Structure 1
Amino acid sequence: MSNSINQNTEDTIDLKELFFSLLAQWKLIILCTLLSMICALLYLRVTPNTYSVDAMVQVETSKGGANAALLGEQLSSIMSDSGLGGMQLAQAEIAILQSRLVLGSTIKELNLDIRISPTDESLWTRLVSPIEFKTNYNSTGVSIHQNQNSFEIRKFNVPQNYLDKSLLLNFNGNTFSLVDQDTNQIVYQGNLNQPASIGAWQISIDAKTTPQQSYLITKNTLPTAVNNILSNFSAAERGKQTGVLGLNYQGTDKAHITKVLNVILATYKQQNVDRSSAEKEQTLNFLQKQLPELKKELDDSERAFNKFREQYNTVDVNQESQLYLQQSIELETQKIQLEQKLAELASQYTEQHPMMQEINAQLGSISKKINELNGTLKRLPEVQRQYLQYYRDVEVKNQLYTNLLNTYQTMNVAKAGEIGNVRIVDTAVEPVKPIQPKKSQVLLLSIFLGGFIGILFALLRNIIRSGVRDSSQIETELDLPVYGAIPRSEYQPSKIKKRKTLPVLAITHSDDMAVESLRSVRTTLLFTLAQAKNNVLMITSSAPNAGKSFISANLAALLAQNGKRILIMDLDLRRGYMHKYFKNNNQQGLSDVLLKQLPVEQVISSTDQENLDLLPRGEHPSNPSELLNSERFAQLMQQLQSQYDYIVLDTPPVLAVTDSMVLSKYSGVNLVIARYGQTPLKELELVKKRFENTGAQINGVILNDIEVQTSGYGYGYSYAYKYNTDKKKS
């Protein structure tokens, strides 16, 4: 039954204990948080601000004006529906915006294929003193400004094998040189303010004063330069099928990215206008070829008609012939127009295209009607028939020539006022605030990240520190009684070895919680000492830094406050520092009594606490174990036992040296100090075996340095805490 209870206890996570253990390591968590914030501040220091500019473009519907002028509304509508001049899709316009057609022109306009940067732009340099490096890209070249250095690259063309390759640009007097970093050889050398051309090298650099620094310069190929822009450029349709495109461009130089995006907008709009006017240009070229031919045919028809009229003077034409003449003129005009458009489209489409089939069908219908009218014409008298035929030819060619001439003039006017089907709604405006890095978010994230890492480290420390955390473990697994659990005191200094004096809390801070817990231990010890073989209390530990000297000094002071005459002996002849608690100079001590045969009364000194005397360790001897196991020490112990009510022995750690095992034969009660969270249970088990092997036993264990928040461990701690709190309130 007890085994199952213990197993359940071990498998259960005490959230309260976990919380307080993390709270006790607040310094570690705060340290990790501060380090994380420092890293975030360094990141913000070396990371340049990133700005973003945007623009808006509307793609409007195109009606195909040239087609409408030649074919009329019906055929123009058919052509628009088939994709010739219809509304352009947003995705197609986005592809055009991101194409080399637009971006290549932008790169050429602003010389964006030239990349230059300072050679000393390292992380440490940006951290200590950020470089004031600025570039200005324009149509004339690239201007560079850095501190006192200023120059302009007006032309920079390199051979094919040096494209997309960084070259080192050095200045010396009025000359400059380009160095290949792979071979460390000068590949080109020229003079400032003097354009030069040597083979494929065409370089021109202007500078009023000679720059004092070196730079890395690269001439990019068109694909590389386009990819550099595309890495920061984006275009997307706003809404669904709205025809409104949102453009965005990002970079560290807000003036530069504003200029680049506006040039992209201007280039895109211009190519759209050029594309829209291309159809009109093609139609005008066609009309320019057709008008002279139609004029010649019209002149020939008029001369033939005038000659006929001079020969026959006049011909009587009845009403039926007039109707025939009007229909024939209209059909011939439509036929010639369709034949002209068919000839124009034949260079673009096959006979199976819907446009070609539609025009051919209309031509067939018109030809059929013309043939029917021609049959009627043949039944007329010969002179009247010839008259109508000459008159029809003149009228048809005259009307067609007039229509085409009007169309030509209309197209010229339309071409002059062409604006395209793209409207720039918003141009790029220079931004005010950067979009990255977001300083407040980075700092907030660093705080959370640092806190998380600190908590993680604290949990790892708890896992690694496999020390005793519960007094019930000692009692259950080692069958040793726990005399008390001593909480950590805020008055106990952390760096003991570096201090000349140490406080005895039982004297200086008698109301401290640790002292209250030690009073409970004192009560238990008095009952144990009353049944022991002598009045000697030995206090030891398994390993150093368990706090045995702290416990020894305060227990001795509390026993003295109880009206008993107490002697505390520092038997750690190697590293003992009990003299620091009682302001003793340690010039003479136990080692002097054992080696120099000094009287013990000469080295024992009184303390600030009444009834409490101290026997310090003295000088460090070469053979401490032999001295403690000598006959002289045995006689000394027998002498002192008769002079004092209780003797407290502060001994070295058991697992470090054998001194404690030697001293165990002189003691009546043996206490082992275990430090909370640091002393492993295995060490206590090994200490117990050492005592048993020497024929001695451990009377009890004191769990020391328990964190203040973890109340409830051990015996009497929670009651001492409550008593101490009530006392302060009163």
Structure 2
Amino acid sequence: MSDDFEFSESSAATFDIKAFLYKTLSYWKLFVLCIGVGLFIVYQQNIRTQQSYKLATQISVEDDKNPLFTSNTSLTFNWGGVSGKVKTIITTLQSRSHHEKVVDNLQFYISYLKQARFRKDDIYKAAPFAISLLPNTSQLLNKPVRVTIIDDKTFELGLDFENMVVSTQNFTTKEKGTADVPLGAFSQRFAFGDPIVLPFLNGTIHFKKDRKIIPGESYFIEFQNYDAVVAKYKNKLWINNPMNSSILNLEMIDVNTQKIEDYLNETVRVLSEDQLNRKNQFVTNTINFIDEQLERVKTQLTLNADSLNNYRQNNKIFNLDEESLQINDKLSKFEIEKDNTNRQLAYYSNLKTYLETSERFTELPAPSIAGVSDGNILANISKLNALSVQKSKYESTVRSDAAIFGDINRQMEGLKAVLLENISSATNGLRREMEFINSKIAETNSKIRKLPKDQQHMLNIERQYALSEQTYNVFLAKRGEADIIKSASVSDILVIDPAKDTGAQPIDLKLSSRYVFAVVGGFLPPLLLAFLVTFFDTRLHGPQNLEQVSRIPLLGVIGKSTMDNNLVVHNSPKSAIAESFRAIRSSLQYMYKRKGKEGTKIIMVTSSVSGEGKTFCSINLATVFALSGKKTVLVGLDLRKPKIFGDFNLNNDIGVTNYLIGHKTLEEVTFTSEVENLDVITSGPIPPNPSELLIGEPMDTLIEELKKQYDYIILDTPPVALVADALELLEYADASMYVVRQDYTKKGMLNLINDKYKKKELSNISFLYNDYDQKGKYGYGFGYGYGSYGYGSYGNGYHENHKPKFSFVDRLGRWFKL
């Protein structure tokens, strides 16, 4: 057989839970090592990592109506509703523009750091100073600038430049650039409050009044890329809308709780301010329009008052008669009505032009300033303004090709068409009313023309003054109404629970918890290794394993020997191993008696491979029979790898080989041993054709001659898995002993003998379980040094002389069994 031959695994092999548990316990050193490594790694992480915390704030999206808004108030319109607002608010909170405002307000692109043992910690407001940047100047990016406090008046800036060009950013315009700097260490002193003007840093550092001066203390200021900071906090903000209600929970995680608290509260403040501004946008536009009209009318009113006073003084006319006053009052009334009508016509004309030429409708003044009271027009303008505001908000957060824009545009176009029809109808009605007013004015003017010339001119000046005064008073009243309504408006964002650090706990694993995970993690590698070793381990680790893989009976179990010599039964007759061989002797005698075997008994001892203790069992089995008073001979038929001569202090120059080739007689190759009644026939020189010698006629003659002289003949044969010699010798044996060794013999090695036993090619064969160790039977069997898995190393000495190889598992096992 070739030494590359490999046996298949036994189909009867199953996973042994008990073996797995014992194997796991045997790796206690590896458990200690892995757990120690895990604890060390966690310890290093704990001392190097700054803990993260989570804070939250809760807001409600309301639909607050203005308490001063009534059916007679047309300046503002409360549009919308909660259902649409929540989605808009969430979209706004997720927008880049919103976070840009918050980052700008808090200046979170500036970090204040302090050196800890293994890192620079973000200390934020705990820094004893703050820097105010000079507008429109550039600052060094992503490189901490050291600030060392000298005393209560001075400090020192320092850093090391590795390159002569550094990146900078202007936080006013947000433009990036570069600056030339000196290579190497930079250090310069400044006074607190004095401006710092450097190529890479421009600002003023102020020491906080409530902080204690500690000379020599060092801190760091670091400027971070503005867009990167905005993106960082935009991604950190978590928005939770439970059950799609009007409640929003805003959460954020960071290493500094004060930063989280300020960012969340500023986020809500900016959101609330933005929503209020959008809500008041209509009335704000109206106030601006009224202010422009008041300024214009005020100028006209002043001119008319001066003209009236000058005319009275120059013409000495201070009072008009009763008839003139009545005519003037009547005409003034008609002029005011005409002015109101013209104002409405002008508003409708401007509104029509605005609707036909503009795509945004957020700058329309309230219709009430022009005296417009048409309910349809008021309602449609309100809806159009609301849709325009909503579209403007979506444009900053939603893609331009989103379906929502198409829906909003369709609604706006429909409202525009309805408004244009309403404007046309209202304009026609106002024109008819204007014709009626003009006719009344003409009729009244005809009566005035009958008065004296000086009184006519006086009446004309007074009418102009009264008209300007009336218009001014109207705009002034509207201005006051608009201010009251604006001041009474509240944001739709209600803060239920502001962000506050009330003793936030780290969201990272606590130190104790981390160590628990380290211990658990340390258990896993050895546990996995034990499982894999057990799962892929095909060696026999106990007699019960043998019963699982073969039907061949087990004749006896032999304990582990610690003696250097194989003559255990002779040298230590009271040992447990000696008793084991006596038990085997009794079993064999019982078997022979039961079968009625008389005369000489021939017992063949073999095994699967070298190293299983075949020679050890042969010697001690022969010894135990000899000590019982039976004439016994031990024949070494392992012609390829002779062994038995060394234990008896014999020379192997003469042996069976010499007899079989006819060079020596039986008496010449037979030696008396130190054991009474035990003779030994060694193997002799290694022949070139051992198989042919063992199957020839001289072998038959040898057996027949031995039968005449001895009661028991013990044949020590070669391993059956490596050579075929032992199988050829089976015909001489009355009983065959097949030796297997604990933690050494592989289950697959028994396939050959099992197959022959199943086919009834063998009879009277039994197993001897050798090297049994109670402690090691479930996985303590490493350390024998007999080689790795596979038959190549097991065949050492039978084919070629080579050093045994050890597998990684063997080496690992050997180390842990020391």
Alignment TM class, shorter chain as reference: 0.5 to 0.7
Contact 2:60 2:496 in 1 (8 A): yes
- Pairing 1:498-509 to 2, within 5 Å after superposition: none
Distance 1:92 1:22, change over 3 A: same
- Pairing 1:409-420 to 2, within 5 Å after superposition: 409-412=480-483, 420=491
Using the alignment, how far apart are the partners of 1:411 and 1:515 within structure 2?
116
Using the alignment, how far apart are the partners of 1:463 and 1:94 within structure 2?
63
Moved more, 364-373 or 444-453: 444-453
Q: CA deviation at 1:289?
A: 2.0
The answer to whether the aligner puts 1:293 opposite 2:364 as a matched pair is no
- Pairing 1:341-420 to 2, within 5 Å after superposition: 350=357, 355=381, 357=420, 362-379=426-443, 382-383=446-447, 397-412=468-483, 420=491
The aligned counterpart of 1:131 is 118
Moved more, 660-669 or 416-425: 660-669
After superposition, give the CA deviation of every residue in 1:242-297 in whole Å (9 maximum; x if it has no partner). 33222111234445434433343344444445555665554433332221322344
Contact 1:332 1:370 in 2 (8 A): no
Contact 1:28 1:454 in 2 (8 A): no
Using the alignment, how far apart are the partners of 1:594 and 1:86 within structure 2?
106
Q: Percent of pairs identical after alignment?
A: 17
Residue identity matched to 2:553: Y
The answer to whether the aligner puts 1:21 opposite 2:16 as a matched pair is yes
Using the alignment, how far apart are the partners of 2:597 and 2:134 within structure 1?
102
Q: Secondary structure at the match of 1:423?
A: strand
The answer to whether the aligner puts 1:422 opposite 2:486 as a matched pair is no
Contact 1:652 1:660 in 2 (8 A): yes
Q: Secondary structure at the match of 2:162?
A: strand
Using the alignment, how far apart are the partners of 1:569 and 1:133 within structure 2?
82
Distance 1:176 1:446, change over 3 A: closer
Q: Secondary structure at the match of 1:539?
A: strand
Residue identity matched to 2:53: Y
Q: Secondary structure at the match of 2:118?
A: coil
After superposition, give the CA deviation of every residue in 1:276-327 in whole Å (9 maximum; x if it has no partner). 5665554433332221322344456677699799455434859xx97x9879
The aligned counterpart of 1:264 is 267
Q: CA deviation at 1:360?
A: 6.4
Q: CA deviation at 1:155?
A: 7.0
The aligned counterpart of 2:248 is 245
Using the alignment, how far apart are the partners of 2:753 and 2:528 within structure 1?
36
The answer to whether the aligner puts 1:191 opposite 2:187 as a matched pair is yes
Contact 1:537 1:667 in 2 (8 A): yes
The answer to whether the aligner puts 1:235 opposite 2:310 as a matched pair is no
The answer to whether the aligner puts 1:433 opposite 2:521 as a matched pair is no
Contact 2:555 2:766 in 1 (8 A): no
Which of 458, 473, 484 does residue 554 from structure 2 map onto? 484
Q: Secondary structure at the match of 1:102?
A: helix
The aligned counterpart of 1:226 is 230
Contact 2:157 2:187 in 1 (8 A): yes
Instruction: Provide structure 2 residue ranges, at least 5 long, that are not aligned to the other structure.
Output: 1-7, 149-155, 167-180, 208-213, 362-379, 382-418, 450-455, 655-667, 694-698, 779-818
Using the alignment, how far apart are the partners of 2:239 and 2:94 within structure 1?
8
After superposition, give the CA deviation of every residue in 1:182-209 in whole Å (9 maximum; x if it has no partner). 99x9757432554754435548999953
Using the alignment, how far apart are the partners of 1:87 and 1:204 within structure 2?
48
Q: TM-score, normalization: structure 2?
A: 0.54
Distance 1:452 1:73, change over 3 A: farther
Q: Secondary structure at the match of 2:243?
A: coil
- Pairing 1:528-607 to 2, within 5 Å after superposition: 531=597, 534-544=600-610, 546=612, 548=614, 589-592=647-650, 594=652, 603-604=674-675
Using the alignment, how far apart are the partners of 1:346 and 1:362 within structure 2?
15
Instruction: Provide structure 1 residue ranges, at least 5 long, that are not aligned to the other structure.
Output: 1-9, 122-129, 144-149, 476-481, 579-585, 606-610, 690-695, 710-730
Residue identity matched to 2:746: T
Q: CA deviation at 1:406?
A: 3.3
After superposition, give the CA deviation of every residue in 1:350-378 in whole Å (9 maximum; x if it has no partner). 47975364566545534432333433444
The answer to whether the aligner puts 1:52 opposite 2:48 as a matched pair is no
Using the alignment, how far apart are the partners of 2:600 and 2:165 within structure 1?
88
Contact 1:174 1:192 in 2 (8 A): yes
Q: Secondary structure at the match of 2:123?
A: strand
Q: CA deviation at 1:462?
A: 6.2
Contact 1:547 1:704 in 2 (8 A): no
Higher relative contact order (CA 8 A, sep 6+): 2
The answer to whether the aligner puts 1:673 opposite 2:739 as a matched pair is yes
The aligned counterpart of 1:98 is 94
Residue identity matched to 1:365: G
Using the alignment, how far apart are the partners of 1:425 and 1:500 within structure 2?
90
Distance 1:421 1:186, change over 3 A: same
The RMSD of aligned alpha carbons is 7.0
Q: Secondary structure at the match of 2:504?
A: coil
Q: Secondary structure at the match of 1:235?
A: strand
Distance 1:686 1:557, change over 3 A: closer
The aligned counterpart of 1:107 is 103
Contact 1:505 1:554 in 2 (8 A): no
Distance 1:492 1:168, change over 3 A: farther
Q: TM-score, normalization: structure 1?
A: 0.60
After superposition, give the CA deviation of every residue in 1:207-255 in whole Å (9 maximum; x if it has no partner). 953869xx9x975432222222233222243332x33222111234445
